[in-house]
Amino acid sequence: MELQEHTKQLKKYLDVLKDQFENSDPPESKKNKQFFLHVKEKTDPVYRLLEEWEESALAIVKERKVNVHPQQITSTRENMELLLLHSFYVDVKRKRYMELNHSIHFIFDQLLSDLKQV
């Protein structure tokens, strides 16, 4: 199932992003164009995958095949987009970062669990 694969891929990206956040220093300047282009290159595939994931997940939610609400799907996408930037720019406290990370993992895990039963 495509949604299941997308969710697993996004979970892997989430772990990579966490490592990026924990093992990187913030950029010297947030206006550094080269750094911005580097971040854009690294994150574009994730943004595209996230968009496809949201569409697929919302379709499954509308069919009532999973116990996740549409707002949770949308919020998860928004939170993951925040983490994409925070992971490179390291501009939030670790506690806030980890809260976002855990909430995203929770929804991904819930979705995967429900999809196994479909």
State the DSSP code for 20. H
Instruction: Please choose, from the candidates 105, 78, 110, the residue with its C-alpha nearest in 3D space to the C-alpha of residue 18.
Output: 105
Q: Tens digit of pLDDT for each residue in 56-104?
A: 999 999 999 899 999 999 999 999 999 999 999 999 999 999 999 999 9
Helix then strand then coil, in percent of the chain rounded to 5, is: 80, 0, 20
Given a cut of 80, whether residue 50 has pLDDT beyond it is yes
| pLDDT value for 30 | 84
